[in-house]
Structure 1
């Protein structure tokens, strides 16, 4: 029996002028080259791959083809819980899938909710305030500099070099821009002045922590704010002209390495992440790692020059791209008790 794997995704597209959308509106979506690379990796594992774009017809397509399992990378098309759309449909149809469930995806897309949940469990994260209007009074517990972001986005959407604000005027201007441009509240966080890291995990009950990636913000162009902004991720650092911005494994003391790993595993378990996840952290002025964001649906771009963090960390751990994709699939199959359906087990790096 050949394992039938659905591959759900959203393809990146150009923004038409009449749409009136921000330039980074579709930046979370995947290029066709990434979708094809994942499909090829799954095929190398002996799977029959069925590609399904996660549009408004996805429910009908999934109901008709009823794959054995779905490899889900769909970001969702709209709404504050858009990353949950495909998992909800799959659960309704009784189809197994890779990755975290609807509740986890919805919580992690909401930066404020993520901070609240983690804080309740003693996981350090930044102090913050949500602004629904630009003229709201600034919380007395926050002091400049501050970072302004859209509340419900990922992939550095809505985070510009100008998002690091150092005075009241800049704060009001940036909050107003976020609310107007992205039609959602802005979250304002205390700025963490230390080094920035991202941590990939694969697995479930005892997730495997991949080598820690440091984002070397001192490699950004002169004059750029020391934050991993949209410009840093998508404009200045391109496959054609890559910046030397990643260091993996990060060159850090063993004690800090262990602390970051411990926080990553605790965060993964608290938020009930599954199969794969990437967690962004930054050191505060005391050198304590604080969780900035949790991405249970991390990018899987295969090109090393694209600086996709989870594949970068997996390469440092000795994974080929095919092994990374098949290992993620295997972890999901194992959760459902379906691991015997996968035949090419030599491609599974974490059994």
Structure 2
């Protein structure tokens, strides 16, 4: 099987839980704030329909489980986000592995590691990637007299992605503000909370695409907001900026960021995580170099998402085909 334009003779099962309708009250503290909408699902299904004639969709995990034995020869396309469990991103891969069904993207281990911002930074450090100084706060006693807390600092949930829990108030300059923001986050997402130094510099996303056999492709991009490439240099990339505010985004490829040492460290991380296939390494380029803020194997898979921007030079269907083929290669090896 190759990356040609021939249609694939496989069934693709999309497991995706789009939100129904529009919630005008959604914000950075909404548990369903990272779930895709119906239009995103239709864009992905449309792209897959250009690759194969057989596309099935489940929006409920229990329906998927009830019918999974009928899809043992299919490839599962996880795009399910859930709401409550800290393991929600890892549920579909876990089900697929239990039934021996191939699936696209990261396995349960990698999903769980990347979802834990503290644990993922420890792994980044072992791979030679710099990370910001910070404090893991497991309860209110940890904030009674913290040692060497770096200010200005960012207060964020330990287990969330998509900037959930992140607002302009998350950037704090003293202990009193840190306690207040931590209390607000805990009411919704619970402990632990991560407090880490605010990095000043260009927001960078390093995207990695590949399989477990050949060298992965590694590309970097930055963001221009409202025509300003320095818009985020001293600001947080908040939930409102990403999803609510009237902001014009323009991704900019940034190959100059990828020094040989940084490229090597990113590949080492990709190999260490093993079953990942697609990974985004978010960070900032400071005066000291690139520093990792978080890892995400849950990329925006729409035709205008960062994955298509970085790796979609042959077209969106070709990119989806590549993801499916990589998943099959891994399953058969």
Q: TM bucket by the smaller chain?
A: 0.7 to 0.9
The answer for the alignment partner of 1:343 in structure 2 is: none
Alignment of 1:296-315 (within 5 A): 296-302=297-303, 304=304, 308-315=305-312
| TM-score (ref. length: structure 2) | 0.86
1:84, 1:101 within 8 Å by CA — same for their partners in 2? yes
1:161, 1:224 within 8 Å by CA — same for their partners in 2? no
Q: 1:146 aligns with which of 153, 162, 171?
A: 153
2:51 paired with 1:45: yes
The answer for the alignment partner of 2:322 in structure 1 is: 327
The answer for the alignment partner of 2:223 in structure 1 is: 215
CA distance in 2, matches of 1:246, 1:169: 36
Q: Give the 3-state SS of the residue equivalent to 1:193 in structure 2.
A: coil
For structure 2, which runs of at least 5 residues remain unmatched after alignment? 1-7
1:126, 1:189 within 8 Å by CA — same for their partners in 2? yes
Higher relative contact order, structure no. (Cα contacts within 8 Å, ≥ 6 residues apart):
2
Q: 2:245 aligns with which of 218, 236, 252?
A: 236
| TM-score (ref. length: structure 1) | 0.82
Q: Give the 3-state SS of the residue equivalent to 2:253 in structure 1.
A: coil
- Indicate how the Cα distance of structure 1 residues 40 and 20 shifts in structure 2: closer, same or farther if over 3 A, else same: closer
Per-residue CA deviations over 1:119-167 (Å, capped at 9, x if unaligned) read 2343211222122334523542332011111111011111111111111
The answer for the alignment partner of 1:268 in structure 2 is: 270
RMSD: 3.0
1:213, 1:246 within 8 Å by CA — same for their partners in 2? no
Q: Give the 3-state SS of the residue equivalent to 1:56 in structure 2.
A: helix
How far is the alpha carbon of 1:327 from its aligned partner? 1.3
2:29, 2:188 within 8 Å by CA — same for their partners in 1? no
CA distance in 2, matches of 1:167, 1:56: 46
Q: 2:18 aligns with which of 11, 30, 38?
A: 11
2:134 paired with 1:128: yes
2:225, 2:231 within 8 Å by CA — same for their partners in 1? no
How far is the alpha carbon of 1:294 from its aligned partner? 0.8
Per-residue CA deviations over 1:34-56 (Å, capped at 9, x if unaligned) read 22222222221134111112433
Q: 2:79 aligns with which of 73, 82, 92?
A: 73
CA distance in 2, matches of 1:20, 1:204: 37
The answer for the alignment partner of 2:202 in structure 1 is: 195
- Indicate how the Cα distance of structure 1 residues 310 and 134 shifts in structure 2: closer, same or farther if over 3 A, else same: farther
Q: 1:118 aligns with which of 102, 116, 124?
A: 124
CA distance in 2, matches of 1:165, 1:324: 40
Q: 2:192 aligns with which of 185, 192, 195?
A: 185
1:118, 1:124 within 8 Å by CA — same for their partners in 2? yes
